[in-house]
Chains A and B, each alone.
Chain A
Amino acid sequence: VCLQSLSRCCRHPVLLLSRCLLSSSTVSKAPLHTRLLLYLTKRFYDVEALLTWTSMFKKRGVRKKNAYYGYTGSFHGPHVAAAYFILNLKGGFRYRGRSDWFHAEKFDWDFINHKDCPLEEIDLSYTVINCDGLGNFDEEKSLRTLSLKACPEVDDWFLSRLHVFQDSLEELDISQCPRITIGGLAALRNLKGLKRLDVSSLPRIANPGLVVILLEEMLPKCHVIADGYEFDAPPKEEESDKWKSQRQPKSRCNKCGIY
């Protein structure tokens, strides 16, 4: 009996193997990407978890880059801490009273020597600075220029925090920032000393012409630059009704039937 069962055990894998070989030769395999996608569809929750983790890690990376440089500040003072923060973000700055710029591309440790020298111009274009990172600049009372061109994390809440520079800020460049909307531009009302404001190519502004007029009205001493938009030509006489309807607000309202 033992020998019979043993022979049966040995025979079955051979049968299975032969069946497999037979089946694989008759059915052609699907291409690799199709098989991969079919495999992933059977593992929906794993894919969902992986995607959630990826976005979580990206956000954690941005948060780490915008941390508060309190440790550096306790050794070298708030201005050097702010300077170090800017250099870590791959930005550039200029101290007040000096004419040379310190930039991350030509990094050297010389900036530590200028303790207690406030920053006058900051260039943070194309960096991941966000609202929390502005906490590093709370002591910069003589900041004149701030350039935030094409920063992906600069949004309306960031603009609302700029009121700390309301006495000194003269030039602000927020062109090409994808997250800024009209609600954030209303927050710039506090910067009464602003002389130059660049709001070119903001993708989330729905009617740029109107927005530029309102900004000029809000900040009378400021020169507003707004390139990169396709402003419509002024309409002719017979299209005046359409122009009136365009002046209505675009905001959606779910209350009883207005706009």
Chain B
Amino acid sequence: PGHGETQTAPSSAFQTIPNNFISFRRLTSIKQTALDALPGSSWTPLQMNPNLPPERADIVIVGGGVVGWSVAYWLKQKERVRGGVKVVVVERDPTYSRASTVLSAGGIRQQFSLSENILLSLHSAHFMRNINDHLGVLNEDPVDLQFNHSGYLFLASEDVAHIMEENYKTQRYAGAKVSLLTPTQLKEKFPWINTDGVALASYGLENEGWFDPWTLLSAFRRKAISMGVIPCCGEVTGFQYKTNTVSTREGDQVILRRIRSVKVQMPNSLEYQPVECSIVVNAAGAFSGKLAQMLGIGNGPEDSLTGISVPVEPRKRYIYVVHCPDGPGLDTPFLIDYSGVYFRREGLGGNYIAGTSPLEAEEPDTSDLEVDHQFFVDKVWPSLCHRVPAFESLKVSSAWAGFYDYNTFDQNGIIGMHPLVNNMYFATGFSGHGLQHSPAVGRGLAELIIEGGYKTIDLSALDFRRILSHEPMLERNIV
């Protein structure tokens, strides 16, 4: 028998078995399995699903869009002690196929009529100016938002020109750099515009334009995860809460709820994990109303406090990509007409992105994200051609649809705690402006949660209380 052979057939009784029946590799794996089965090793036959969220967390953020990750980042930024706050972000779709963030046109403007909105956009623009100081991770590539500083251009007809002038005063007072243009000045600046019917135009000079929403989301996510936020892929299907009934001075019964744990269900599975938490942040965007309903908000008699539901619902909006080689050039701003039609330049090859908001009565069905191309031909193209004659020869290359987290009450964001559920915070209902407000909203909510009050911008006017007392804060510049 040779010295080099490791296995030799033992005796004549086993002659029929080939020489390398049990190979060396299989022998070592059998040995390893036997060692694992012995007590003292960490192997168990019942493997835990590694994707489950932790059993306990301090703050659970429902919704992994740009607002959710912004809140997560700022919570970690503002915690006083390293590891002081355990944050879990729950997102049900890691491909973001229906998320409003990535399907948005990506614009940022300060031309609002409410000073809180102006300040939110201004602070978000300042955040994006120094984004690498905030969201830069050591040893990773710097963040490049591809920000186009082309400004927004709002056109007003005769009857809304006075509103535009009042808004201009508010914007200037809040610190936004906007300028008003007469039709002659408008024609001089942008010779491709048809100034028919335009009485006044409002043009943003600084901190306005558009950028890549996916980059902002990834930057927030990367930085938050590097600071210790736990991402979880799952769907919130229920809550466990304690109920307490108190009566007001008038004798009405008010049901106060306090969330004890969030039930997070794994994708395509019945497995779930109840995450015990002290605070839940509702950043679910277009689906926030449905989430609040799981908690019983809105399930009460019509005219009582408990009967008022969260007024956020998804509204489908279309964006069409058009190609027009003779269209306006590099200086094209994000133009918004008084009829509601908007368009902006995309890239350098003569491509533009256009769309409009449909009327209340003609809202499209929100069960899917299919695009209605007839809508472009009927509603968008005529106004576009009227405003920019060069667009008569355009061709539609592509289109997509996305959801607005539409606040049916007054189209402004809802930020703050729910009065009846004392540990649920909302950061939703922005009706198309969630992306541009996200850094500042995240910071405001983190200040509210960790420091107990707003320190940089006072967002108490965007509280839930205005919905309970039926006092809408209308924003007049909604697109």
Contact = CB atoms under 8 A, between A and B. Distances in A.
A184 B145 CA distance: 12
A247 B330 CA distance: 14
Contacts of A250: 347-348
Contacts, number: 86
A259 B347 contact: yes
B206 interface: yes
A163 B329 CA distance: 19
B351 A48 contact: no
Contacts of B206: 160-161, 163
A258 B331 contact: no
A186 interface: yes
B348 A131 contact: no
A256 B402 CA distance: 11
Interface string B126-139: 00010001000010
Contacts of A217: 329-330
Contacts of B207: 160
B330 A185 contact: yes
A207 interface: yes
Contacts of B102: 254-255
B205 to A, nearest CB: 5
B44 interface: no
A249 B325 CA distance: 12
A156 B149 contact: yes
A190 B205 contact: yes
B346 A160 contact: no
Contacts of B209: 160, 183, 186
B177 A163 contact: yes
Given A51-B138, A218-B330, A218-B331, A181 B146 contact: yes
A115 interface: no
A184 B346 CA distance: 15
B103 A189 contact: no
Given A157-B129, A249-B349, A257 B398 contact: yes
Interface in A177-208: 181-187, 189-190, 192, 207
A146 interface: no
Contact of A251 (B146, B177, B398): B146
B103 A255 contact: yes
A214 B348 contact: yes
Nearest to B209: A183
Contacts of A52: 138
Nearest to A48: B138
Given A161-B206, A214-B348, A218-B329, A186 B149 contact: yes
B150 interface: yes
A183 B148 contact: yes
A211 interface: yes
Interface of B: 102-103, 129, 133, 138, 144, 146-150, 177, 189, 205-207, 209, 212, 214, 321, 329-331, 346-351, 397-398, 400
10 contacts: A59-B133, A163-B205, A182-B148, A186-B148, A186-B331, A211-B348, A249-B346, A249-B351, A258-B398, A259-B351
